[in-house]
Every structure is written in structure tokens, then in C-alpha cells.
Structure 1
Amino acid sequence: MKISSLLAMLGGALLAAQSWAAPQFIADLDILSFDGTELDANLLVPDSPPPAGGYPTVLFTNSWVLDKHQYLLQAEALAENGYLVMSYSTRGFGQSGGLVDVAGDNSIADVGVLIDWLESNYPVGRLGLAGISYGAGVSLLGAAADPRVDAVAALSGWSDVVEGLYPNDTVNLVWGTLLVNTAFNREPIVDRVWSDLRSGRNIDGVIEFGAARSALGFVDALNANNTAVLLSNNFADYLFKPNSMTDLYTLLDGPKKLLLNPGTHAITETLGGNDGHIWATSFRWFDHHLKGEDNGIDSEPKVDMTVRISNRLEQFEDFPVTQNSSRWYLHPRLTRFNSAGMKESPYSGWRWRNEFHGGADTAAGTGIPLISDALEGFGIPVYTSMAAINGYYAIEYSGPVQWSTLKIRGTPTLDLWIEPSKPEVQLQLHLYDTGPLGLGRLITHAPITLHDAAVGEEQKISVEFFTTSYDVPPGHRVTLAIDTEGAIYQKPADTRYQIRMPYRRGLDSKLTLPHL
């Protein structure tokens, strides 16, 4: 064998060995933050020399309760692709010191300290932040605070803390209790704010606490930094609903991408749901904005929306995805045993009034808390018998039969005239896809609580349902079901009230459905 051929073979073997060599994994790093708090982190260093501008770098932030080990699979995949990757436990979680402050000033300052440490010890190029849930919120706020952050992947995050825990002035009891009681090392202010929210005291203070922790209030900084922001949220996420994230998305001026998926909070991303589309897109986002790869993600449609139940992916140029809508007006029911109606023309008959009562839950709802929401990501919807809703404790309105598929895309809204019998009342609003046999599949829902209503007076409320993507099949109807209690929400202290629904010319209650 010629010497040149032998050298070529050896060279090829060395190159192959290098390409399969694992990145260096540093399992335990204790990094002192600005106030002496120890932050527990791990690090993956590529087994390749840094590019001229330094390693593309990603800093992963843990979800609530979890720690630095959460993203090992994703971190390894990035490191094998040439990224320097750090994962850390936020203060109060894992082996990190300090107390949980709900993405407060200390936690955001920690992000800057970790970036400083990376830059002091390694050649850092363009840098991105990523995380699920709590990690997503911290990533967005960290990017707003530090212009060194070039890109963000915020998955199942929030842009408005108060909207998550107090949607339409309604206490999100199940999720709020779960969060507070699982943060064992928390700052006292967390308990104080949760107590105030549950009791209805010092709501201005609650809002102030939330505003300082909500990216929606720091959008100018994200725009000034020209941060490339990827947002991903799930339709059945009843903690951090898509609505506030779509609000943030529309205000961003820089590079942006929005993913809207079936499933509930954090489960879709954690279990690799949506056929892996969320993480694959996040990696492509970083490849383009941190590595400079021309992979086409910057020229693709900005909005990826996956249809509920069918899990079919659709892409749109922007959000809102459609300007088309149908407007259906509410018409009265004649007795408690008949459904009311929704029609394309306003009610113009005699003055009429329906009523229903608080004090009991009905078959209308979001299913088993947490469990039903998670199953939806796997194409298993929440079903209910529509015949079990209408009556003394609820009212339902049946829309017209759809002779072709009604492709609901976006945020339905409801303008509703009511006459409450007490100053504090709650309404749980549900939209169902009702088949010919009277079985309904939940499309979306929304709560609303009035804490100082004008008793005995006609008044209009306007409510946004949670953003959705749903196909109503031919032969089915959209049904609006309204009752006064929901399994995941805190009820008013006194549930013995009546809700009267007035109907007359010029007093139009209407449902607006955006659709393709």
C-alpha cells in the first residue's frame, strides 16, 4: 500500500472519530451571582474549535419546580451541532440557593451574571435564551434586560402574569395553588400576593407585582435590542393562555415567529408533542439567528398553527391569521327545557328575558383539571352531553347547522347583555362543536367575574375566548353554553344569585367567530 493512501485512510479515520466525539460535559458548576447566591449549572462544550466569532451559545432556564437537568437531551443535540450550552437552576429551585421571586429582579440579574461568566471563560459568539414555562418568562425578561441576547425561544411562557392567574378578574385557583405550593423556597411576597388575589384585597398591588414580571411591559426593550423572538403556546393551556402571547407577538418589531399548538401547559413541549415541530423549529430559529445558517426560516410564514384534534399544521403570514368572521346574535329560549338560538340577524321581537342561577356546576366545563387538558394534545377532546347543560343553572344557544367545514382560527369574542342580581357574579363561557346526536366537543372557553356589578341594571360585558384553531364538521353546530362555575376557577363567596338575559331591539348580544 502506498504511504499516501495509508495517510489518507488514517486522516479519514481521525476525521470520523472527531465528528463522532461527544461534547465535553461539565456536570456541576457553582456560579456566584451578584449577591453571593450560588447558582447550580451544567455546561456542554463542543468538541470542535470555536468559529471566528466565538461559539453560538444557548442558555437554558428551568421550568417551575424543575432544575438544570431538564434540557439534557436538547442541550446535547445543540452541543453536537457546535453550540456552547449552559443549563442552570433558577434561584430557589434545584441545588441553587436563594428564594423563588417569580422572575423578579434577582432572577433577571442572575441571567446577566451567567452571561458574564460564559464570556469570561469561553469564546462566546451570538447568544440565545430558551426555556419552557417559567424558563420562557425568565428568558423573555432576561432578553429585554440584556442587549447581548440575540434570540429567544419562549415555550409555554407568559407575557402577562396577571392574565395567567386572574383572567377576566377570575382567580385561576387550581393552577395558582399548584404553583405556590410547589415552590418550597419562595420569597414571602409570593404568599402575600396570592393571598391578596384570592381574597380580592390590594388588587392594585397584585397588578404592580405582575407588571414588573411581564414581558408585555418590556416590549420596547425587546424591540430596541432587535431580539429575534420565537413564541410557542398551547390552546388548552389554562395557565398561560395564547392570548397574551399573541398580544406580545403583534407588538414585536424585530424577527419573530409564533407557534400555536394543541395540548396543555408545557406538556406538548416536554413530551415532544406536535410531532416534534416545536423543538425542531426552535433549533432552526437558533441555527439562523445564532449560527447564521441560511435555512429559510426567516422567509417562511411567521405563524404556525396546528388544528386541534386533527393535529394538522397550517402556516400563515401573520396574526391575526384571518380577517373573515361570522357574527351570530343571541335569541331567547322559550322555556328552560328549550335551547336558545344564535342567528345571523339581531333579535327584533317582543321584549323577553331569560334567567339562570348560580349555586351549582353543570356538565359544561373544561373536563378533569390538568388531565383533560393534557389529553387534548394527543387528539382526545373534552366531550359533554349538551342536554345536561341547559336549565335552571345554565343556558345554551345553538348556532345554525354548518353545511361545510367551519374553520375557526383565532380569538372568538362575545358581547353579552346581562342583568345580575348581586354585585359579585361569575360566568363561565364555553363554545362547543355539537353533533347531530347532541354530543359536544369543547372548542374553547373563558371565565369572567364581575366584582362590582350594577345590581338589577342591564349592562354589557365583552369577553375574549381563549385563542383556538378548530374545524367544525359539516352537519354540526356551534353551541354557546353559559353557567356560573368552573372546576379550575375560584367561585364567588356567595353563589346564590341570578343572571337575567334581556332581549329587545337595540340590545344586541352577539358572538363573533374568526374563520378562514
Structure 2
Amino acid sequence: MHAPRTLLATALASILLVSNLTLPASADSTGTGAEVAYRTIPGHGGIDLKAMVITPTGYEGPRPLLVMPAAWSTSNLLYVGAAERLAYESGYQVVSYTSRGFWDSGGEVEVAGPEDVADASMVIDWALRETDADPERIGMAGISYGAGISLLTAAADDRVRAVGAMSGWTDLAESLYTNETISYQAVELLLTSAHLTGRPGDALLEMESEYRKGNVGPVLELSPERSAMAKLDALNASGPAIMIGHAWNDGIFPASQLTDFYKAYTGPKRLMLSPGDHATSEAFGAFGLPNETWRSLTRWFDHHLRGAANGVGSEDPVRVKPNSGGDWASYPDWTSVSEHETALHLGEPKRSWTDWQRTGGLIEDEPRTGWEYQVRAGIGTTAESGTLLLSGALQQFADIPTGVALPLVDRRRAGVWTGEPHPGGTRISGAPRVRLTVTPTDTEQSLYAYLYDIDRHGIGSLVTHKPYTLRDVEPGQPASVDLRMEPVVWDVPAGHRLALVVDTRDARYTGESALGERVAFGSPAGDPSTLTVPTA
């Protein structure tokens, strides 16, 4: 239990030894370096916040200020590498601080509550008082927890004129309780790390206690206050320049809530979506290493806080990098990412001469209705969404997707539908949607939908997925499910086809399906079941 704190103390001691040394400037810098100092800053309610204060040297006049709250379970050391670059290359005054309740800061973990927002404003107050920071040029940036706090602070404190939100959230309830399904691996990771590296406050302890009982009520009650989407009116009124960087496979904060927020926000904005999992797209950049997201974020701040004529204002603000590999593509808005969409109708799963397992078709020409297909619930199949952090990182760094052997998916426990091969390939671009009629044998039933890119041997790569839980339904009665899967850009190679799998168990989530239950999939005449695929 004490090993992480020992490592932190050692790292802090090393920083303190060089806290007043001047770092060399880069070749194109107009300054001479940066000084790093470990400081104590008063936080809300009289607690102490521990911070690394990075001050550029060789720059004259007030400097633009960047405040960076640390990510969940991390310390103020997280951004020192990136902060040094921002200081000595561009002249930013940077304050990277440990969020309350974690590591060396005082207080308790409040899950981005009002206390955390008040802390951020007090850090700004301190920087304006104790450094040569310019009150008219203030920005905030962070990864994960730091991103959420940055957005929430911008909504409450109109001094914040620019924000960089990387791997953050805008709707806490949707993150942890997507379609009324608990994101088990994400919640357990957050809770475990909070106990290991911090001091959970009353709000977090209550959420945890009730969660262990199967009650998510406290999470839902506390989420609006901790969600930037609920503060949209305030953000639209003050209009800070917001840049969002996120990964397609983020297993803690799914990307769909960020695209929803981006569409609804009316101020200056930029959106970057790329392969990876939670924080893997920008983690190396935080340490000061070359990184696409941080490079774009620096240009964003340079334009909006330093007035640099670097072309940011004339560029297409939406940038996407295919999850299947390839170069960046740019668009004027999120809607333009999906130029077309194709409705594929779900046919009755049945055996054929070419497929001995029951498989339905994904058919373009006309709806296939009047069928019903029943499966056993409560037991998973080889179709899975993968492991939190690991699966997305493998996709990003090794081009190894979460896979499936479609012939091994048990048709007694899943519905499977496949389309025709794409002779010239196709690009899926946007959020696929599934409309399906289901008839459960219990009042609650969890479903998991997976969209795969399948080769001629039946080996598939997971393109996107989504959970969905039916609650308080009448057993034996049909219910309509409208499910929007997570957005993605994915290039389907020539000769490959799409496959949709729907089953009732996934290790990433806490589900409501139990052994002995059954669920039937159907396509009634008045409500045909359909997979809608957006394409570029």
C-alpha cells in the first residue's frame, strides 16, 4: 500500500533538487528556458493543493497562463514534461497541480464536484497574484479527470478563455451507466485506484456503497453537477475556445458523449478522434515526448491565447484518424463525417447450404419481417468488447483489433447477421445504429451489440459495440430497442463483409441477464429490424 507513495516522494525529491535550474530553450524559442518549482497553493475550504509551477525565462511582460489539474489517481508530476515545453518554447506560465484528495494534496476526492471547481479558480487566483500571468489570457488543460475539471471550471469561471480536454467526459452518468448498463471494469478501476492513491470523500463513498448493492441512484443524482453537458448554457454564453482530443476505444468515457457535446457547443471548437483507449492517445505527450494531440493543442492555445497567426482559425475543426489505420481526414463539422448511410435489414437467422449455423442476412433491398429467433440468456459467447485499456492500446500501437471467429459464436446464445462482401471495400464513418425488437422472459435483460469486419474465413475485427439494458419491461411482450453504437471511422477492405452479433453477456459490463432466461429477436411487419451504417 505504501509503495506508490514512496515512489512519489522519491520523484518529488528529485524535482525539488532541480527546481531552480534553468532548462535549455529549443532552437526556435525566443526565450531562454524554464524554471520548475514545487509549491503549495491554498485550495477551497482551507486545504493545501500541491503544484509544480513552471515559469518561462527570457520572456518579457505578462505571460499567458495554463492551469492543469492532474488526472484521476495521478499527481502534479503528470504534465511536467509537456508544461516545460509549453513554457520554454511558447512562454506559457504553467501550474500543474494534484487534484484534491489525491497523493500530496489535501482534502478528499470529490469526483469533480463543486469543491474541485472552486480549487481550480483558486489556483488561477494564486497564479495571478504570485506570478507574472496575464489575467486576460487564461487557459486550462488536462487528461481524463483533469479534462473534466477543466471544462467544468470554464463553465463556472469566465476568466478561462481556452480549454484542452483530452480523454475527458461530458456526461458522467452516460459514461458509467451507458444505456442503463454499468461499466463494470471502468467503475472498478476508478474505485480501486482512488483507494490506493487518495482519500475518497463522502460523495464517492456513498456512490461506491450503493453501487455494491446494485443501486446507481447516487451516481445519477450527482452526475449533472459533474457533467459539462449540463453546463452547456453557461459554456455557450462565455464561449471559451474548446479543443477535445479523444480515442475511439476509450473504455471509461465512450466517445459518443464527446461528439454530442461538440455538436451542441456553439463557441470556437476543435475535435480530434484517433485510435487508442483511455488516455493512451496523449499520455506520451504529457511527458514531453512528440505527440500529435499535444502538438495540435499547443497550436490551439497559441492561436487563442497568444494570438498566433498559425492557421488554426482557417482549418477544418474536426479531425479523425481511422481506427483501422491510415491518415487523418478533416471535416468542417461532425455531421459531415457521415456523408451517406445504408439501411441493412435483418433477416431470419437460419441454416443454409453454405452456413450450417443459424445466421441471418443484412439485406439492402427491402425489410425482412415476420420472423422471431430465440436464444438463451445469461451465458456469454466468443463475441466480446475486449479488456479495458489493453484492447484499445493494442489497436493503437500494434494494429491488433479485438477479434472474433464468427463460426465459433454460439447461435444458441446470440443472434448473428452477416452482409454481402464489399467488392471495393467501404469506409464506415460515424455511429452505426441498430433497431431491433426483443421479447425477454424477465423484467430486465441486458444486450450487447457488436459490429464486426469479417474476412472470407469468418475471422472478424471489432469495429464498434454498445451495451443496452431493458428495465421494467413486461415479460413475454415485445419491446423496441433503439441502440446507437459508438462512433468510429473504419476502412473495411475489399472482399470483407459486415457482421452484427447480439448476445446477453460481456465481461466489461455488469449485466442483468441470468441463467434460465431467454430472449427472442424479431422483426414485426410494422417495425422491421435494421442496422444503419454511416459511410464516408
TM-score range, shorter chain: over 0.9
Distance (whole Å) between structure 2 residues aligned to residue 19 and residue 479 of structure 1? 52
Which of 401, 413, 423 is the matching residue for 2:421? 401
Name the counterpart of 2:396.
Answer: 377
TM-score by length of 2: 0.89
Which of 317, 322, 343 is the matching residue for 1:327? 343
Superposed, 1:219-258 pairs within 5 Å as 219-258=232-271
Deviation at 1:427, TM superposition (A): 0.6
Whichever residue aligns with residue 150 of structure 1, its letter is R
For the 8 Å contact 1:369–1:487, the answer to whether it is kept is no
Superposed, 1:181-192 pairs within 5 Å as 181-184=192-195, 185-192=199-206
Whichever residue aligns with residue 212 of structure 1, its letter is E
**Count of residues in Structure 1 that have an aligned counterpart in Structure 2:** 498
Deviation at 1:202, TM superposition (A): 5.9
3-state secondary structure, aligned to 1:30: strand
Superposed, 1:270-289 pairs within 5 Å as 270-272=283-285, 276-289=291-304
3-state secondary structure, aligned to 1:418: strand
Say yes or no: does 1:463 pair with 2:466.
no
Name the counterpart of 1:12.
Answer: none
Which of 355, 377, 385 is the matching residue for 1:358? 377
3-state secondary structure, aligned to 1:118: helix
Moved more, 15-24 or 367-376: 15-24
For the 8 Å contact 2:406–2:460, the answer to whether it is kept is yes
3-state secondary structure, aligned to 2:313: coil
Deviation at 1:239, TM superposition (A): 1.0
Per the alignment, do residues 315 and 69 of structure 1 end up closer, same or farther by CA in structure 2, a change over 3 Å counting? same
Distance (whole Å) between structure 2 residues aligned to residue 389 and residue 212 of structure 1? 42
Name the counterpart of 1:427.
Answer: 447
3-state secondary structure, aligned to 1:290: helix
For the 8 Å contact 1:163–1:244, the answer to whether it is kept is yes
Name the counterpart of 2:310.
Answer: 295
Say yes or no: does 1:487 pair with 2:507.
yes
Distance (whole Å) between structure 1 residues aligned to residue 297 and residue 522 of structure 2? 49
Name the counterpart of 1:32.
Answer: 42
Q: Which has the larger radius of gyration?
A: 1
Deviation at 1:275, TM superposition (A): 7.4
Which of 451, 459, 472 is the matching residue for 2:492? 472
Moved more, 144-153 or 340-349: 340-349
Q: Which runs of 5+ in 2 are unaligned?
A: 1-24
% of aligned pairs identical? 34
Per the alignment, do residues 87 and 275 of structure 1 end up closer, same or farther by CA in structure 2, a change over 3 Å counting? closer
Say yes or no: does 1:318 pair with 2:318.
no
Deviation at 1:91, TM superposition (A): 0.4
Name the counterpart of 1:130.
Answer: 141
Deviation at 1:19, TM superposition (A): 6.2
Q: Which runs of 5+ in 1 are unaligned?
A: 1-14
Deviation at 1:480, TM superposition (A): 0.2
1:69-105 superposed Cα distances (whole Å, 9 cap, x missing partner):
0011110101112111110001011210000000001
Superposed, 1:136-215 pairs within 5 Å as 136-184=147-195, 185-197=199-211, 199-201=213-215, 203=217, 205-215=218-228
For the 8 Å contact 1:262–1:311, the answer to whether it is kept is no
Aligned residues: CA RMSD: 2.1
For the 8 Å contact 1:330–1:346, the answer to whether it is kept is no
TM-score by length of 1: 0.93
Per the alignment, do residues 199 and 346 of structure 1 end up closer, same or farther by CA in structure 2, a change over 3 Å counting? farther
Name the counterpart of 1:6.
Answer: none
Per the alignment, do residues 22 and 71 of structure 1 end up closer, same or farther by CA in structure 2, a change over 3 Å counting? farther
Distance (whole Å) between structure 2 residues aligned to residue 142 and residue 19 of structure 1? 31
Name the counterpart of 1:60.
Answer: 68
3-state secondary structure, aligned to 2:151: helix
Say yes or no: does 1:309 pair with 2:317.
no
Whichever residue aligns with residue 129 of structure 1, its letter is M
Distance (whole Å) between structure 2 residues aligned to residue 301 and residue 196 of structure 1? 45
Deviation at 1:369, TM superposition (A): 3.6
1:331-389 superposed Cα distances (whole Å, 9 cap, x missing partner):
1012582211110134456x322111112111101233431221111222112100111
For the 8 Å contact 1:50–1:123, the answer to whether it is kept is no
Distance (whole Å) between structure 2 residues aligned to residue 292 and residue 18 of structure 1? 18
Distance (whole Å) between structure 1 residues aligned to residue 388 and residue 91 of structure 2? 41
Name the counterpart of 1:73.
Answer: 81
Name the counterpart of 2:14.
Answer: none
Per the alignment, do residues 348 and 293 of structure 1 end up closer, same or farther by CA in structure 2, a change over 3 Å counting? closer
Deviation at 1:18, TM superposition (A): 12
3-state secondary structure, aligned to 1:250: helix
Which of 96, 105, 121 is the matching residue for 1:96? 105
For the 8 Å contact 2:176–2:183, the answer to whether it is kept is yes
Deviation at 1:37, TM superposition (A): 0.1
Deviation at 1:493, TM superposition (A): 6.7
Per the alignment, do residues 251 and 198 of structure 1 end up closer, same or farther by CA in structure 2, a change over 3 Å counting? farther
3-state secondary structure, aligned to 2:94: strand
Distance (whole Å) between structure 1 residues aligned to residue 367 and residue 201 of structure 2? 54
Which of 116, 130, 145 is the matching residue for 1:121? 130
